[in-house]
A and B are shown apart, each in its own frame.
Chain A
Amino acid sequence: MPSLIRGRRVRPFRILLVEDDVVDQMTVERAFDRAKIINELFKAENGVEALEYMRGENSKEKIPWPYIILLDLNMPKMNGLEFLEEIRNDETLAKVPVIVLTSSIREEDICESYKQHVAGYISKPVELGDFIEKMATFGTYWAMCESCNER
């Protein structure tokens, strides 16, 4: 099992959580804490803010490259699908794996997300054990990738 979960390797699991609801944010934080995954969680309230953090724009400090973007679909200003389109059109940002974490189970949303090459689609309410396992798998391989200096 990945060393990230056992917490031995102290490379924190870096996630960018794009989610406007405070309690949904807390769900993710709590999931990681209770699974004892050492993490560095960056939070953005909507697509616009997320882009600003990733690009270091609008007096926001540029965040270090996240291993995964957890993306809600329903957000003010710029929703998940609009954000996806933006980053997929940006050469550097397009490489980050995105997992959609949303309460929507509408076919259009699922299809549109996969069209934008998301790595996964999880529907809320989240089944925690499952969720953590998915996170851990992703984190491990991406972390390996980072250590090989592959970007």
Chain B
Amino acid sequence: MFSHTIGIIVAIIIFTALLGVGAALVICCGAKHQNERLKKVNDCLEERVSERTEELEKSNAELEQFAYVASHDLKAPLRGVGNLANWIEEDVREGSFEKLSEYVMLMQRRVVFMEKLIDGLLEFSRVGRMHVEVEKVDIADIIAELREEYPEIEIHFHRECDQCPILVNSLRISQIFFNLVNNAVKYNDKEKTIIHISCKAQEEYCQFTVADNGPGIEPKYHEKIFQIFQTLQSKDDTNGTGIGLALVKKIVEEYDGEISVESTEGKGTKFIFTIKFQPAC
């Protein structure tokens, strides 16, 4: 009986000890596991912070560059106005009046140009900054608007996607088409401007093309044209700000899309861009 009790006591002690060890192991492992998890979460956060910092630094650098280019391009017409004003004053003082009306005309043109530049800059900076509403947009409506705005040109629309309207911001998508068509009209060198617009659905993307019968663009300029303030002709000749295509590219990229151009000199120009969208039906 005595050995029985001792046996039971020993068993209890061993059992408790085992429990203790077991518990200790569990707590230890658990703690270790917790530590590991904490460390992982910490690393993950660190990575995200450094990613965000990198993005922010990049964004700041872009902003600085943009501010420099913008201020530089705004100063140019302003300097012109200053010069012209000085010359008008000098000439009037010296009694020579032949060039006055030319000087005044150049001044007025530069003032108008500066306004265009400022409006364009504002528009450009707005893309992506505000969360814009999306709505059901039927491309056919935009084509109709284009035909109304440019009655003197031919616009052909080839639809290879569903009749369903798509869900995008209507202003932004209009801006893309209007800028491309405006350029096509501005630089066209034929008797009649003819534009072909097509739309094709590709899973989550809609691919659009806008092709014209204009003078074409040499391949060596195909990247340059999308840079902001870059024009292929002097701004005095075309009054172009060089913002249009940069704006189009920015909008396309906001919708996770891409834009490219197919063109050679003398063979017209075709812009191809994709937009990721949610089909509305």
Contacts and interface: CB of A to CB of B under 8 A. Distances in A.
B236 A22 contact: yes
A124 B79 contact: yes
A21 B84 CA distance: 13
Contacts of A106: 68
A75 B231 CA distance: 8
Interface of A: 20-24, 26-27, 30, 45-46, 74-77, 103-104, 106, 124-125
Contacts of B84: 23
A108 to B, nearest CB: 11
A21 B80 contact: yes
A77 B235 contact: no
A92 to B, nearest CB: 24
Interface residues of B, number: 20
Indicate the member of A20, A23, A45, A77 with the most B CB atoms within 10 Å.
A23
Given A103-B75, A106-B68, 19 more contacts: A21-B76, A21-B236, A22-B106, A22-B234, A23-B79, A23-B80, A23-B106, A24-B79, A26-B83, A27-B83, A45-B233, A45-B234, A46-B234, A76-B231, A76-B233, A76-B235, A77-B232, A103-B72, A125-B79
Contact of A76 (B76, B87, B110, B234): B234
A21 B234 contact: yes
Interface of B: 68, 72, 75-76, 79-80, 82-84, 87, 106, 110, 221, 230-236
Contacts of B236: 20-22
Contact of B235 (A20, A26, A103, A104): A20
Nearest to A105: B72
Contacts of A103: 72, 75-76, 79
A30 B87 contact: yes
11 contacts: A20-B236, A23-B80, A23-B83, A23-B84, A23-B106, A76-B235, A103-B72, A103-B76, A103-B79, A106-B68, A125-B83
Nearest to B238: A76
A102 to B, nearest CB: 10
Contacts of A77: 221, 232
A103 B232 CA distance: 20
Contacts of B87: 26, 30
